[in-house]
Protein backbone atom coordinates (compact mmCIF):
# COMPACT_ATOMS: atom_id res chain seq x y z
CA UNK A 1 0.00 0.00 0.00
CA UNK A 2 1.33 3.43 -0.89
CA UNK A 3 1.76 5.88 1.94
CA UNK A 4 -0.03 8.54 -0.10
CA UNK A 5 -3.23 6.60 0.70
CA UNK A 6 -3.09 7.38 4.39
CA UNK A 7 -2.19 9.99 6.97
CA UNK A 8 -0.48 9.05 10.24
CA UNK A 9 -0.13 10.89 13.54
CA UNK A 10 -2.79 12.35 15.79
CA UNK A 11 -2.42 16.03 14.93
CA UNK A 12 -2.20 15.47 11.12
CA UNK A 13 -5.38 13.36 11.21
CA UNK A 14 -7.24 16.00 13.26
CA UNK A 15 -6.12 18.75 10.87
CA UNK A 16 -7.16 16.69 7.83
CA UNK A 17 -10.62 16.13 9.34
CA UNK A 18 -11.02 19.83 10.08
CA UNK A 19 -9.90 20.64 6.52
CA UNK A 20 -12.77 18.55 5.14
CA UNK A 21 -10.89 15.42 4.08
CA UNK A 22 -13.02 12.27 3.83
CA UNK A 23 -11.67 9.11 5.45
CA UNK A 24 -12.61 5.56 4.61
CA UNK A 25 -11.58 4.47 8.10
CA UNK A 26 -9.25 5.40 10.94
CA UNK A 27 -7.25 2.89 12.98
CA UNK A 28 -6.36 3.76 16.57
CA UNK A 29 -4.07 1.87 18.92
CA UNK A 30 -5.96 0.09 21.69
CA UNK A 31 -5.71 1.91 24.99
CA UNK A 32 -4.64 5.25 23.51
CA UNK A 33 -5.66 7.82 26.10
CA UNK A 34 -3.95 11.19 26.46
CA UNK A 35 -4.92 14.83 26.03
CA UNK A 36 -4.26 14.87 22.28
CA UNK A 37 -6.08 11.57 21.68
CA UNK A 38 -9.11 12.91 23.56
CA UNK A 39 -9.13 15.85 21.15
CA UNK A 40 -9.04 13.32 18.29
CA UNK A 41 -12.02 11.38 19.70
CA UNK A 42 -13.99 14.62 20.01
CA UNK A 43 -13.17 15.54 16.40
CA UNK A 44 -14.17 12.08 15.16
CA UNK A 45 -17.55 12.41 16.87
CA UNK A 46 -18.04 15.89 15.42
CA UNK A 47 -17.43 14.70 11.86
CA UNK A 48 -19.06 11.27 12.38
CA UNK A 49 -16.06 9.38 10.98
CA UNK A 50 -15.82 5.59 11.49
CA UNK A 51 -12.84 4.33 13.48
CA UNK A 52 -11.70 1.13 15.13
CA UNK A 53 -9.24 0.14 17.84
CA UNK A 54 -6.48 -2.25 16.76
CA UNK A 55 -3.28 -3.70 18.25
CA UNK A 56 -0.27 -1.39 18.01
CA UNK A 57 1.49 -3.98 15.82
CA UNK A 58 -1.09 -3.63 13.06
CA UNK A 59 -0.32 0.07 12.67
CA UNK A 60 3.41 -0.67 12.86
CA UNK A 61 3.05 -3.00 9.89
CA UNK A 62 1.59 -0.16 7.81
CA UNK A 63 4.25 2.43 8.60
CA UNK A 64 7.41 2.57 10.72
CA UNK A 65 7.24 6.35 11.01
CA UNK A 66 6.06 8.23 14.11
CA UNK A 67 2.36 7.40 13.81
CA UNK A 68 1.55 7.99 17.53
CA UNK A 69 -0.86 5.06 17.36
CA UNK A 70 -3.16 6.61 14.73
CA UNK A 71 -3.46 6.11 10.99
CA UNK A 72 -6.26 7.37 8.73
CA UNK A 73 -7.07 6.00 5.28
CA UNK A 74 -8.12 8.81 2.97
CA UNK A 75 -11.17 8.12 0.83
CA UNK A 76 -10.85 8.94 -2.88
CA UNK A 77 -14.40 10.33 -2.83
CA UNK A 78 -16.36 12.80 -0.72
CA UNK A 79 -19.22 11.23 1.25
CA UNK A 80 -22.64 12.92 1.37
CA UNK A 81 -25.50 13.23 3.84
CA UNK A 82 -28.48 11.12 2.76
CA UNK A 83 -31.07 13.40 4.41
CA UNK A 84 -29.71 16.41 2.52
CA UNK A 85 -29.74 14.42 -0.73
CA UNK A 86 -33.39 13.37 -0.31
CA UNK A 87 -34.46 16.90 0.64
CA UNK A 88 -32.77 18.30 -2.47
CA UNK A 89 -34.42 15.68 -4.71
CA UNK A 90 -37.87 16.64 -3.41
CA UNK A 91 -37.09 20.36 -3.79
CA UNK A 92 -36.19 19.73 -7.44
CA UNK A 93 -39.62 18.17 -7.95
CA UNK A 94 -38.26 14.67 -8.51
CA UNK A 95 -39.17 11.30 -7.01
CA UNK A 96 -36.27 9.89 -4.94
CA UNK A 97 -34.62 6.68 -6.19
CA UNK A 98 -32.02 5.48 -3.66
CA UNK A 99 -30.01 2.24 -3.74
CA UNK A 100 -29.12 0.76 -0.34
CA UNK A 101 -26.38 -1.87 -0.09
CA UNK A 102 -26.61 -4.06 3.02
CA UNK A 103 -23.46 -6.12 3.57
CA UNK A 104 -22.11 -5.90 -0.01
CA UNK A 105 -18.37 -6.16 0.68
CA UNK A 106 -16.89 -7.13 -2.70
CA UNK A 107 -15.33 -4.00 -4.22
CA UNK A 108 -15.96 -5.10 -7.80
CA UNK A 109 -19.62 -5.80 -7.16
CA UNK A 110 -19.85 -2.43 -5.44
CA UNK A 111 -18.17 -0.69 -8.37
CA UNK A 112 -20.38 -2.46 -10.91
CA UNK A 113 -23.53 -1.49 -8.99
CA UNK A 114 -22.33 2.12 -8.79
CA UNK A 115 -21.87 2.18 -12.57
CA UNK A 116 -25.44 0.96 -13.08
CA UNK A 117 -26.76 3.45 -10.49
CA UNK A 118 -25.34 6.25 -12.59
CA UNK A 119 -26.58 4.82 -15.91
CA UNK A 120 -30.08 4.06 -14.59
CA UNK A 121 -30.56 7.52 -13.11
CA UNK A 122 -30.69 6.61 -9.42
CA UNK A 123 -29.97 9.53 -7.14
CA UNK A 124 -27.57 8.05 -4.56
CA UNK A 125 -26.06 4.96 -2.94
CA UNK A 126 -26.38 4.37 0.80
CA UNK A 127 -23.92 2.04 2.56
CA UNK A 128 -23.18 1.22 6.22
CA UNK A 129 -20.02 2.55 7.86
CA UNK A 130 -19.03 -1.00 8.81
CA UNK A 131 -19.48 -4.14 6.75
CA UNK A 132 -19.35 -2.43 3.36
CA UNK A 133 -16.93 -2.60 0.44
CA UNK A 134 -14.06 -0.15 0.58
CA UNK A 135 -14.30 2.78 -1.80
CA UNK A 136 -10.87 2.25 -3.27
CA UNK A 137 -9.11 2.34 -6.65
CA UNK A 138 -10.53 -1.06 -7.69
CA UNK A 139 -14.08 0.05 -6.91
CA UNK A 140 -13.65 3.31 -8.81
CA UNK A 141 -12.12 1.55 -11.81
CA UNK A 142 -14.95 -1.02 -11.91
CA UNK A 143 -17.48 1.81 -11.68
CA UNK A 144 -15.92 3.43 -14.77
CA UNK A 145 -15.60 6.60 -12.72
CA UNK A 146 -19.26 6.66 -11.63
CA UNK A 147 -18.18 6.83 -7.98
CA UNK A 148 -16.81 10.29 -8.72
CA UNK A 149 -20.19 11.33 -10.12
CA UNK A 150 -22.97 9.87 -7.96
CA UNK A 151 -23.42 10.73 -4.26
CA UNK A 152 -22.32 7.95 -1.89
CA UNK A 153 -23.73 8.22 1.65
CA UNK A 154 -22.68 6.33 4.78
CA UNK A 155 -24.88 5.37 7.72
CA UNK A 156 -23.65 4.76 11.24
CA UNK A 157 -26.87 2.79 11.81
CA UNK A 158 -28.31 1.50 8.55
CA UNK A 159 -31.61 0.38 10.09
CA UNK A 160 -32.22 3.80 11.65
CA UNK A 161 -31.30 5.59 8.41
CA UNK A 162 -33.64 3.42 6.35
CA UNK A 163 -36.40 4.16 8.90
CA UNK A 164 -35.75 7.86 8.32
CA UNK A 165 -36.06 7.35 4.57
CA UNK A 166 -39.39 5.65 5.16
CA UNK A 167 -40.53 8.54 7.36
CA UNK A 168 -39.54 10.91 4.55
CA UNK A 169 -42.00 9.25 2.18
CA UNK A 170 -39.86 6.59 0.51
CA UNK A 171 -41.22 3.07 0.12
CA UNK A 172 -38.68 0.40 1.05
CA UNK A 173 -38.26 -2.30 -1.59
CA UNK A 174 -36.17 -5.32 -0.59
CA UNK A 175 -34.73 -7.78 -3.09
CA UNK A 176 -35.29 -11.37 -1.96
CA UNK A 177 -35.37 -14.67 -3.82
CA UNK A 178 -37.91 -15.89 -1.23
CA UNK A 179 -40.46 -13.24 -2.19
CA UNK A 180 -43.80 -14.21 -3.72
CA UNK A 181 -43.94 -10.98 -5.77
CA UNK A 182 -42.12 -10.40 -9.03
CA UNK A 183 -39.98 -7.28 -9.38
CA UNK A 184 -42.02 -5.69 -12.19
CA UNK A 185 -45.13 -5.66 -9.97
CA UNK A 186 -43.61 -2.88 -7.86
CA UNK A 187 -44.43 0.78 -8.50
CA UNK A 188 -41.02 2.31 -9.17
CA UNK A 189 -42.50 5.68 -10.11
CA UNK A 190 -43.09 6.53 -6.46
CA UNK A 191 -40.26 7.59 -4.11
CA UNK A 192 -38.42 4.44 -3.04
CA UNK A 193 -35.23 2.91 -1.70
CA UNK A 194 -34.09 -0.39 -3.20
CA UNK A 195 -32.26 -2.58 -0.67
CA UNK A 196 -29.81 -5.15 -2.00
CA UNK A 197 -28.12 -7.65 0.33
CA UNK A 198 -24.96 -9.71 0.26
CA UNK A 199 -25.12 -12.81 -1.93
CA UNK A 200 -24.48 -15.21 0.95
CA UNK A 201 -26.75 -13.67 3.61
CA UNK A 202 -29.20 -11.48 1.70
CA UNK A 203 -30.84 -8.47 3.31
CA UNK A 204 -30.73 -8.44 7.12
CA UNK A 205 -33.80 -9.39 9.14
CA UNK A 206 -34.09 -5.86 10.57
CA UNK A 207 -34.19 -4.26 7.13
CA UNK A 208 -36.58 -6.89 5.80
CA UNK A 209 -38.91 -5.99 8.67
CA UNK A 210 -38.98 -2.40 7.39
CA UNK A 211 -39.84 -3.32 3.82
CA UNK A 212 -43.05 -2.25 2.12
CA UNK A 213 -42.56 -4.60 -0.80
CA UNK A 214 -40.34 -7.66 -1.31
CA UNK A 215 -39.17 -8.37 -4.86
CA UNK A 216 -37.81 -11.39 -6.64
CA UNK A 217 -36.38 -12.00 -10.09
CA UNK A 218 -37.66 -15.20 -11.71
CA UNK A 219 -34.96 -17.80 -12.39
CA UNK A 220 -35.45 -20.91 -14.50
CA UNK A 221 -31.93 -22.36 -14.40
CA UNK A 222 -30.38 -24.74 -11.88
CA UNK A 223 -28.41 -21.98 -10.17
CA UNK A 224 -30.96 -20.27 -7.96
CA UNK A 225 -29.34 -16.90 -7.42
CA UNK A 226 -27.81 -14.08 -9.44
CA UNK A 227 -24.68 -12.06 -8.80
CA UNK A 228 -25.77 -9.07 -6.71
CA UNK A 229 -24.58 -6.52 -9.28
CA UNK A 230 -26.53 -8.30 -12.03
CA UNK A 231 -29.67 -8.49 -9.88
CA UNK A 232 -29.33 -4.82 -8.95
CA UNK A 233 -29.01 -3.95 -12.64
CA UNK A 234 -32.22 -5.79 -13.56
CA UNK A 235 -34.18 -4.06 -10.80
CA UNK A 236 -32.77 -0.60 -11.51
CA UNK A 237 -33.53 -0.85 -15.20
CA UNK A 238 -37.11 -1.84 -14.45
CA UNK A 239 -37.30 1.34 -12.39
CA UNK A 240 -35.83 3.34 -15.27
CA UNK A 241 -38.31 1.77 -17.71
CA UNK A 242 -41.24 2.82 -15.53
CA UNK A 243 -39.87 6.32 -15.00
CA UNK A 244 -39.04 7.36 -18.57
β-pair partners for 26 = 51, 72
| C-alpha–C-alpha distance, residues 94 and 121, integer Å | 11
Which of 185, 204, 166 lies closest to 242, judged by CA?
185
Q: What are phi and psi of 69, to 5 degrees?
A: 85, 15
**Domain of residue 25, CATH code:** 3.30.1330.30
Sorted by sequence, the CB contacts under 8 Å of residue 15 that are 6+ apart come out as none
Helix (H, G, I), strand (E, B) or coil at 4: helix
Residues in the chain: 244
Q: Which residues on adjacent β-strands are paired with residue 213? A: 173
CATH code for the domain in which residue 115 is found:
3.40.1280.10
Beta-bridge mates of residue 185:
none
Q: Are residues 96 and 206 in the same domain?
A: yes
Helix (H) or strand (E) segment spanning residue 89: helix 82-91
CA distances from 22 to 128, 152, 219, 233, 242 (A): 15, 12, 41, 28, 35
Same domain (yes/no): 70, 91 = no
Helix (H, G, I), strand (E, B) or coil at 66: coil
Regarding whether 184 and 109 lie in a shared domain, the answer is yes
Residues 6 or more apart whose CB falls under 8 angstroms from that of 22 comprise 74, 75, 77, 78, 79
pLDDT in tens, the chain (244 residues): 444 588 999 999 999 999 888 888 899 999 999 999 999 999 998 988 889 999 999 999 988 888 999 999 888 898 999 999 999 999 999 999 999 999 999 999 999 999 999 999 999 999 998 889 988 889 999 999 999 999 999 998 999 999 999 999 999 999 998 888 999 999 999 999 999 998 888 999 999 999 999 999 999 988 878 999 999 999 999 999 999 9
* Residue (of 161, 25, 196, 149) closest to 82 by Cα position: 161
pTM equals 0.86
Residue of 109, 238, 147 lying closest to 185 (CA atoms) = 238
- Domain housing 9: 3-74
Regarding whether 63 and 86 lie in a shared domain, the answer is: no
Question: 85 and 68 in one domain?
Answer: no
Amino acid sequence: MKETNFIFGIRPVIEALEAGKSFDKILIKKGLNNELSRELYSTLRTFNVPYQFVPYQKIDRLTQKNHQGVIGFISPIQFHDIDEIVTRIYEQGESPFIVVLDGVTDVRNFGAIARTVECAGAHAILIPEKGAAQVNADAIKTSAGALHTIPVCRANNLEKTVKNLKNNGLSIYVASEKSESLYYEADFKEPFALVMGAEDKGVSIKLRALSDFSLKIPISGKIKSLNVSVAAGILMYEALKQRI
